[in-house]
Amino acid sequence: MAAQRWSGVIRVNSLHQPSNLPRFINADIQMQNTTSTPSPADLRPSSHRKFNQLSRTPFISDAVAKHYDSHCSFDGRYRRAARLLQILWMKDHGIPNATVDERGAHLGSYLRADAADSGKNFISPEVHLLALRELLLREEDAAIDEDRLLTNTLSSMPLVFNAFGPLALDTKLATAVFRQMLPDFVHSVEHIAFEHSPGRRDERFLADRSAVDSAVHITTPEGQAGIVYCEVKYSEDMTGPAARWRERYDQALKQVRLYRNPDSPILRSPPIEQLMREHMLAQLAVDNGITPRAMFIGIAPRLNRRADAAFRVYSSELVPVDDDDRTRVPFRHFTLETLIDAIDVAGARETADQLWKRYCDFQRIYNAALAVIGPKAPYIELSKSETTPPAEPNSKTSSHSAGSRTRRSQSDGQAGVSESAEGSNG
């Protein structure tokens, strides 16, 4: 597979101290000679494309957020729009939000306890049952937050099950999806594991609880076994907190031979350090004979610019991968929209539609905001082209419209510090 090569300058908007480098999220990365994977939408005639993302996240004012009971003072632009999308999705499906005596009630995007217990945070009863089975058979010391999984609609944890669950339940579908996304690496998908580590607390690895959201076990086109290790983001603002730094990390940074400068402060800053830990796990899985081939991928919504920037900054820290050296573990990143489109192209149209409406239909948020602020402006009849914001270039096009769980210790999927951060997946 062709390596992704990044070159250019990272302009950092932060304080000057190295410890403040996590604030690079506003970085502007100038990339040259990069390679990219075409969207699965390119496999479909343009007249048949279904999904269309906006060019940027709609700005939701305090007035609009309060109108829809979605106001949260610490939300950034993307999370505020994503929270409103989840609240509207809950209303579509008659899902009650948390009561006044439950954690998260004031946020509007948390499920009431009985709704959470009945699996309403998942796109189907089958995916809900899969999530419960994974909870029961979780790996030893796995960091799965049951409340976040079942109750918080804005967390990436239920997104992982909603997006990868249908693939885990149908490996033929999973094969069709990953053949589109990673055609040079995946011939077939054998099974999918969740919240996985090849060696939790094992000194051969990182001696901590670091884990990936999912591990897709595959067979390569050459007939070798392999694993695609996946990290998924949704509404995270990518500001941390970071895991407690360990001496083993310093050792592994040099051992894995993945980085241009293993001593780079950027690798030690949130959220880069989480990507670093998980990528090192993937490389150490190959080095320790867990699997002969591996790849590490990141997935995040196109409009979550901070997650996209984190992936790109992390890419810039990596040494180029020699295509002939199959012992090296490359990193690739995709948009959530690309995954949904691949599911659609693979034939699971209903699943793709559900995922799009649940997580990516920001046209609906644009329309909802305009419905609140529009009547306050002088009425002017606009053409269709004037009422629809521009789409992202080369993106998908859409014909669619738009017992009490009170023990949560963190809100909106933010990881705790120290060891809880090591296993956190948003």
- pLDDT tens digit sequence for 221-268: 999 999 999 999 999 988 878 888 999 999 999 999 999 999 999 999
Spatial CB neighbours of 41, under 8 Å, sequence gap ≥ 6 = 49, 51, 341, 345, 394, 395, 396
Rounded to two decimals, what is the model's pTM? Answer: 0.81
Among the residue ranges 46-55, 247-256, 322-331, the one predicted with the least confidence is 46-55
Among the residue ranges 8-17, 133-142, 379-388, the one predicted with the least confidence is 8-17
The single residue listed with the structure tokens 């009630």 is 105
Mean pLDDT of 163-178: 98
Query: Taking the CA of residue 48 as centre, how many other CA atoms within 13 Å lie in the half-sphere pointing to its CB?
Result: 10
* Residue of 13, 89, 113 lying closest to 407 (CA atoms): 113
Mean pLDDT of 26-54: 52
Mean pLDDT of 393-416: 39
> pLDDT at residue 351 above 60?
yes
> pLDDT at residue 10 above 90?
no
Is the CB of residue 196 less than 8 Å from the CB of residue 183? no
d(CA 403, CA 159): 24
Is the CB of residue 403 less than 8 Å from the CB of residue 116? no
Q: Report the SS3 class of residue 376.
A: helix
> pLDDT at residue 9 above 90?
no
**What are the helix and strand counts (H, E) for the chain?**
15, 7
- pLDDT tens digit sequence for 106-137: 788 999 999 999 999 999 999 999 999 999 99
Exposed e or buried b per residue across 395-424, where buried means at least 16 C-beta atoms within 10 angstroms of its C-beta = bbebeeeeeebeebebbbbbbeeebbbbbb
Burial class of residue 213, CB neighbours in 10 A (0-12, 13-18, 19+): buried
Is the CB of residue 232 less than 8 Å from the CB of residue 260? no
Cis peptide before 241 (omega within 30 of 0): yes
Q: Which amino acid is at 201?
A: R
- pLDDT tens digit sequence for 65-113: 999 989 888 899 999 999 999 999 999 999 999 887 777 777 889 999 9
Assign 292 a pLDDT band (cuts: 50, 70, 90): very high
Residue-averaged pLDDT of the chain = 82
Q: Which amino acid is at 27?
A: A
Is the CB of residue 303 less than 8 Å from the CB of residue 362? yes
Query: Taking the CA of residue 425 as centre, how many other CA atoms within 13 Å lie in the half-sphere pointing to its CB?
Result: 32
d(CA 313, CA 30): 10
Q: Output the pLDDT for position 420.
A: 40
Is the CB of residue 186 less than 8 Å from the CB of residue 180? no
Q: Which amino acid is at 239?
A: T
Among the residue ranges 36-40, 140-144, 350-354, the one predicted with the least confidence is 36-40
Regarding predicted confidence, which is higher, 382 or 300? Answer: 300
Query: In this structure, which long-range contacts are made by residues 219-224, counting pairs with CB atoms below 8 Å and at least 24 apart in sequence?
Result: 219/186, 219/187, 219/188, 219/190, 220/185, 220/186, 220/187, 220/293, 221/184, 221/185, 221/186, 221/187, 223/187, 224/292, 224/293
Mean pLDDT of 165-177: 98
Is the CB of residue 23 less than 8 Å from the CB of residue 14? yes
> pLDDT at residue 341 above 50?
yes
Cis peptide before 271 (omega within 30 of 0): yes
> pLDDT at residue 37 above 60?
no
> pLDDT at residue 2 above 80?
no
> pLDDT at residue 173 above 70?
yes
Residue 104 tokens, joined: 């998260």
> pLDDT at residue 318 above 50?
yes
**Edge-to-edge order in the sheet of strand 294-300:** 188-196, 212-219, 225-232, 294-300, 331-335
Is the CB of residue 186 less than 8 Å from the CB of residue 220? yes
Q: Output the pLDDT for position 104.
A: 76
Q: Output the pLDDT for position 395.
A: 45
* Residue of 136, 131, 157, 153 lying closest to 145 (CA atoms): 157
> pLDDT at residue 278 above 50?
yes
> Averaging pLDDT over each range in 48-62, 70-84, 86-100, 166-180, which range is the top one?
166-180
